[in-house]
Chain A
Amino acid sequence: MTLANIPSTDAPSGAVRWGPLLARFAPLAFLLLLMIVFTILQPRFLDSSNLLNVMRQISITGLISLGMTFVILTGGIDLSVGSLLALSGIAAAFVAKGFNPDPMAAGDTLPWFLSALAAVAVGTVGGVTQGMMITRLQVPPFVVTLGGLSIFRGLTLWLSSGAPISGFSKAYRWWGSGTALSVPVPVILFLTVALICHFTLRYTRYGRTIYAVGGNLEAARLCGLNVRAVQLSAYVIVGALAGLAGFILSARLNAAEAVAGTGYELTVIAAVIIGGTSLFGGAGSIGGTVIGALLIGVLVNGLVLNNVSSYVQQIIIGAIIIFAVAFDRVFKARSG
């Protein structure tokens, strides 16, 4: 059999390859479609207050999704982000209260930036621990982060004794419920971090190593890249962002709850997948994740505006996730 006899699976040269093209813009197209549909059903949807509301709703999970993008791009997964968020929130609250176990005392003993630092530090430590187990012990990410989900939640419940810690200073709370130029602070943070992540992934050498490791681990290793360090860094990033999100959430609610973040991993992973990042690693973008997060936010918001019960909402969200993965598979024509 000569080369000429092997049937080509590529489109003839010069033809437009509709599949991947469609797939790339599908998330954005769906988002716009959803927004049009919801505006027709409820003109209130397009009110600036409602749109800002949507943005505010997606900011917390959106922050974590940005970090999760890095993890999934390297071919890993992190199921512990919700629990890590709660642990970080409790840590921030502890610091704010000066480690004083009286949770009802109003006001802070220590300034907000120490709380924020504590939250991010806890998240980072969580990320480092899991990352080390994944890269050094080579225990599968699924097992390690599933363990992390239980372990971090357990630590949170233990430290807080199950009770929420509330009552923070105005400066602390500003980070969750304040606005700057009438834009909610969490939204500003989300967009800023998104820009930084986008720039890092696309225009820095480090970003390229992320794609390389995710695309083909062996090839990356043979090129001399420190594969273990790159993988570890992804888990550190998502841990740190989960910590930040934990701080923001506690600021927004004016309370750090032990049950915070339960089930967040579903929303976070869904946003990344819907945004076009492949679970095999090596393909995807921050822009896609942002659109994915927006899509979920718009969907939930629109369903609420149309008085769809939260039970039905769950069905729809589950179906959308499955649909997104199916779409990704069908149109990207990737094998295996």
Chain B
Amino acid sequence: MEHTEDLGRRVTIRQRLGHRFWPTLVWGIAALLLALLIVQVPVAFSWANLSQVMRQASFTGLMAVGVTFVVMAGRLDLSIGSLLAMSAIIAVDVTNAHGPLAGIAAAILTGAASGIVTGFLVGVMRLNSLVVTLGMLSLLQGLSLVYTGGKNLLILDETGAFAVLGRGSALGVPVPVLLLLVATLVAAVVLRRSVFGRRVVAVGGGEETARFSGIRPQSVVFACYVVSGLMTGLAAAVFASRVMAARSDSGSGLELVVLSGVILGGVSLAGGRGGVVGAIIGILILALLQNVLLILGFPYYTQWLFIWVIIIGAVWVDLATKRKKLFV
């Protein structure tokens, strides 16, 4: 009581902000660091570099658009890296034989096929998504190895129409980035405004409750995996076009990159929270972060050290804000 009288009506900043204190602090520090970076490494923020970064990030971005549906429904998909390889391989072979349009279609169909299988196992048979998609990862990698015999597959006509997908630009914007923008918009609208999208969020938020509302989680989860497969197939076509080649370890480890970006972007692994736009922002931040660290001279593995510290920190702060306690 004396204490209050002594202080009068002085209110601390911490009290003012309340439970928003920690996120505000973190955002403040992040903004400060960003300003520091812009001053120290201006080359990273040049249009040339940024458009390169975005072009690079666009196929992880495309994969992220698909994976976001799966994660919003409360599941995981660790097979997307190997699926990228398999679809890219098919894209290259089919393009060499039947032209670019057939190649792109084949890639998307391969992705869809894998999505159907995974969707059946996880959605309909209700198996654990972590283990099933780990198994699919192994399976798809094996299939890629058998198909290619361990060799590189090359596109025969590098200057042909196929190159437009990965290497072209329209109105100064790289084609992959345009694709990503369109995909993000469509996906965001579907997730937020369509019946299907609402069902996905419902299933992720609480499966039993969703079932009592008349939603069939099996069908919804199945559809999410098909979407994820389709998007990965498209990403594979873009990848193959960019690199003009494919091999069985293309995209190896990409599932981690994509999931990292999605988590950073605020999509909750438990399902039901977050959105496509957030996920893509996470992917872009991740790509920019990697790029800046690269320019600053940090080797690959140190980049990932920083990145993961940031991701874990971000998840922690996000959870701490929701439960209003730093430590449990």
A313 in the interface (beta carbon within 8 A): yes
B182 surroundings in chain A (CB, below 8 A) = none
Cβ 8 A contact of B312, one of A135, A144, A273, A310: A144
Q: Do B315 and A139 touch across chains, with their CB atoms under 8 A apart?
A: yes
| Minimal Cβ-Cβ distance residue in B for A140 | B269
Q: Which residue of A lies closest to B147 (CB)?
A: A311
Q: Are A325 and B127 in contact (CB under 8 A)?
A: yes
Whether A322 contacts B127 in the complex (CB less than 8 A), given A135-B328, A151-B305, comes out as yes
Asked, given contacts A140-B269, A329-B126, A329-B127, whether A314 binds B142 with beta carbons under 8 Å apart, the answer is yes
Q: Could you give, for residues 289-312 of chain A, a 1 whenever the CB lies within 8 Å of some chain B CB and a 0 otherwise?
A: 000000000000000000001111
Interchain CB contact (< 8 A) of B141 among A136, A147, A314: A314
Which residues of chain B are near A151, meaning CB under 8 Å?
Answer: 304-305, 308-309
Least distance between B196 CB and chain A CB atoms (Å): 23
Query: What's the nearest-Cβ distance from chain A to residue B253, in Å?
Result: 9
Residue pair B263, A143 in contact (C-beta under 8 Å)? yes
Contact between chains at A313 and B308 (CB < 8 Å): no
What total count of A-B pairs have CB within 8 Å?
134
A144 contact set on B, CB distance < 8 A? 312
Inter-chain contact A266/B134, CB cutoff 8 Å: yes
**Known contacts A136-B328, A142-B269; A311 and B301 CB within 8 A of each other:** no
Question: Is A313 touching B142 in the complex (CB atoms < 8 A)?
Answer: yes
- Indicate whether A12 reaches chain B with its CB closer than 8 angstroms: no
CA distance A325 to B208 in the complex (A): 22
How many residues of B are counted as interface, with CB atoms below 8 angstroms from the partner's CB atoms?
A: 47
Interface residues of B in 296-328 (CB under 8 A from A): 299, 301-302, 304-305, 307-309, 311-312, 315-316, 319-320, 323, 327-328
Residue of A nearest to B143 (CB): A315
Q: Does B139 contact A (CB under 8 A)?
A: yes
Checking B131, B315, B320 against A273 with a beta-carbon cut-off of 8 angstroms, the contacting residue is: B131
| Cβ B328 vs Cβ A321 within 8 A | no
Closest Cβ of chain A to B289, distance in Å, is: 13
Determine if B139 and A150 form an interchain contact, defined as CB atoms under 8 angstroms apart: no
- Report which of B134, B142, B259, B309 forms a contact with A315, defined as CB distance below 8 A: B142
- Tell me the interface secondary structure of chain A in the complex: helix
A155 at the interface (CB under 8 A from B): yes
On whether the beta carbons of B315 and A140 are closer than 8 Å, the reply is: yes
Give which listed residue, A147, A149, A309, A320, contacts B146 with CB less than 8 A: A309
Contact A154 B301 (CB under 8 A): yes
A63 at the A/B interface (Cβ < 8 Å)? Answer: no
Q: How far is the CB of A279 from chain B (nearest CB, A)?
A: 5
- B28 at the A/B interface (Cβ < 8 Å)? no
Q: Is the CB of A315 within 8 A of B311?
A: no
Q: Which residue of A lies closest to B141 (CB)?
A: A314
Q: Which residue of B lies closest to A228 (CB)?
A: B328
CA distance A319 to B7 in the complex (A): 69
CB contacts under 8 Å to B, within A150-190, are 150-151, 153-155, 157-158
B137 on interface, CB distance cutoff 8 Å: yes
How far apart sit A77 and B16, CA to CA, in the bound complex (Å)?
40
Task: Identify which of residues 263-315 in chain B touch chain A, using a CB-to-CB cut-off of 8 Å.
Answer: 263, 269-270, 299, 301-302, 304-305, 307-309, 311-312, 315
Cβ of A157 and Cβ of B301 under 8 Å apart? yes
User: Chain B residues near A154 (CB, 8 Å)?
Assistant: 301-302, 304-305
- Provide the residues of chain A in CB contact with B145, threshold 8 Å: 310-311, 314
B147-176 interface (Cβ within 8 A of A) = 150
Evaluate contact between A146 and B301: CB separation under 8 angstroms.
no
User: Which residues 238-266 of B sit at the A interface, judged by CB distance below 8 A?
Assistant: 256, 259-260, 263
Instruction: Tell me the bound Cα distance from A262 to B260 in angstroms.
Output: 19
Contact A155 B315 (CB under 8 A): no
User: Closest CB of chain B to A217's CB: distance in Å?
Assistant: 13
Least Cβ distance of A308 to chain B in Å? 11
Interface centre among B142, B143, B270, B328 (most CB of A within 10 A): B142
Asked if B135 contacts A315 (CB within 8 A), the reply is no
CA distance A144 to B234 in the complex (A): 30
Is there a chain A Cβ closer than 8 Å to B121's Cβ?
A: yes
Closest to A263 in B: B138
Question: Which of A135, A266, A322 has the most chain B CB within a 10 Å cutoff?
Answer: A322
Query: When chains A and B are docked, how far (Å) is the Cα of A154 from the Cα of B311?
Result: 16
Q: Which residues of B contact A (CB under 8 A)?
A: 76, 121, 125-128, 130-132, 134-143, 145-146, 150, 207-208, 256, 259-260, 263, 269-270, 299, 301-302, 304-305, 307-309, 311-312, 315-316, 319-320, 323, 327-328
Question: A: which residues have CB within 8 A of B?
Answer: 77, 133, 135-140, 142-144, 146-147, 149-151, 153-155, 157-158, 228, 266, 269-270, 273, 279, 309-322, 325-326, 329-330, 336
Which 4 residue pairs of A and B lie closest in terms of their CB atoms, listed nearest first?
A: A318-B139, A314-B142, A318-B138, A315-B142
- In the assembled complex, 17 residue pairs joining A and B whose CB atoms fall closer than 8 Å, in A order, are A136-B327, A138-B328, A140-B269, A142-B130, A147-B309, A151-B304, A154-B301, A157-B299, A158-B301, A158-B302, A311-B145, A312-B146, A316-B142, A317-B142, A318-B139, A321-B134, A336-B208
Q: A154-B301, A266-B138, A325-B132 are in contact. List 18 more A-B contacts (CB 8 A).
A: A137-B319, A142-B269, A146-B259, A147-B311, A154-B305, A155-B305, A158-B302, A270-B131, A279-B130, A311-B145, A311-B146, A314-B142, A318-B138, A319-B139, A322-B121, A325-B131, A329-B126, A330-B125
